[in-house]
Amino acid sequence: MDSSKGCFGRGAGPASFDYPRSVNRLVQDQQHARRSRDNERMPMAPSGYVHRGHLDAVVKEAGALLGPEVVHVAYSIGPDSTDVPSIFFRILLADDAVREDTIVGVTRRIAEVLLAAVRPLEDWGLRPYFNYRSKSEQDRHKDPEFE
Amino acid sequence: MAYHDDLLAHALDLVHTSPPTQLSLRRAVSAAYYAVFHFLIFEATSNWGNESLRTALGRAYDHGVMKTASERILDTRKFPFAGEDTSVVRNLRFVAQTFSQLQDARHFADYNLTKDLDPAEALAQVKSAEEIFNTWPSIRAQQIAQAYLVSLLVKRT
């Protein structure tokens, strides 16, 4: 590597390196996006209005695929910390699922099922997030976002 | 121990504070995010031949770019990873989703005091961070995992 050019070389762009195809794919995707968009500083938005009735049905259907450790699945739509439209799944867990030795397996499985069934990025243009609460905690707080 | 290991241990200590407080829970989530942030940078810059310059290279990483790159590979239409080992893809997507999730959770933990942070939520986030540390070695050698590390540095303007 020509060290005078730094990591990527001024003006050369990362695609000029002999990366494997998978790396080039990522870089080319970014370069294409850079060339084809003139609204670079605008936040991403879903391609259309979210049909809440349809989304409700999809989430409900997906919730039925989850195990008994899940008491309830709610969701809300709104901007995340970077102002990108997002879907926040609020998942109420049975108390015995919220254990040191089980929680990762439980939450991983829930996220995978919901991502595969709802397809938030692909079908809705929404970034997915997952928030968890135990049933006993919800009984104390009665947070409507988890109802 | 590396800095990211110390951060993860710190997060685990905090999340087990008894009784839990908002201070301990919020600092636990924040430390968990930074543990993963520095861990991924460590893994990426480990590929740089000149070892003494790796930490300097690590300064090039940007939270927003890393989040965007992580979100991108979750999109199965853009990145179907056809022909790849499904368990590797599953683990890589877990890493990407968890990084994105942790970044937003850290934002809540550090800035949003309008609601309490739940113990269950904090435990889930911290243990997910730990799971990244446990999962990554199984996919580290895979080309799609290395491509992901490169994508974390490439700015999308």
Per the domain annotation, does B23 fall within a domain?
A: yes
């409507």: which residue's tokens? A144
pLDDT beyond 90 at B155? no
Per the domain annotation, does B156 fall within a domain?
A: no
CA distance A134 to chain B (A): 6
B13: which 2 tokens? 């200590």
Same domain (yes/no): A28, A91: no
Per-residue model confidence as pLDDT tens digits over B129-141: 999 999 999 999 9
Same domain (yes/no): A39, A59: no
Where residue B128 sits, what CATH number does that domain have? 1.20.120
CA nearest A6 in B: which residue?
B57
A70: which 2 tokens? 């899940």
Per-residue model confidence as pLDDT tens digits over B36-83: 999 999 999 999 999 999 999 999 999 999 999 999 999 999 999 999
Per the domain annotation, does B78 fall within a domain?
A: yes
Same domain (yes/no): A61, A130: yes
* Predicted TM-score (pTM) of this structure: 0.83
pLDDT band for position A108 (cuts 50, 70, 90):
very high
ipTM over 0.95: no
Q: Sheet with A85-93: list strands edge to edge.
A: A70-79, A85-93, A127-134
> What is the span of the domain harbouring residue B82?
3-151
pLDDT given at position A7: 31
Same domain (yes/no): A91, A39: no
Same domain (yes/no): A28, A92: no
Per the domain annotation, does A97 fall within a domain?
A: yes
> Considering its fold, how many domains does chain A have in total?
2
CB B151 within 8 A of CB B72: yes
Same domain (yes/no): A39, A57: no
A33–B contact, CB cutoff 8 A = yes
Per the domain annotation, does B29 fall within a domain?
A: yes
CA distance B87 to chain A (A): 12
> What is the span of the domain harbouring residue A73?
52-146
Per the domain annotation, does A103 fall within a domain?
A: yes
Per the domain annotation, does B157 fall within a domain?
A: no
Nearby residues of B122 by Cβ (< 8 Å), 6 or more positions away: B15, B20, B25, B26, B28, B29, B109
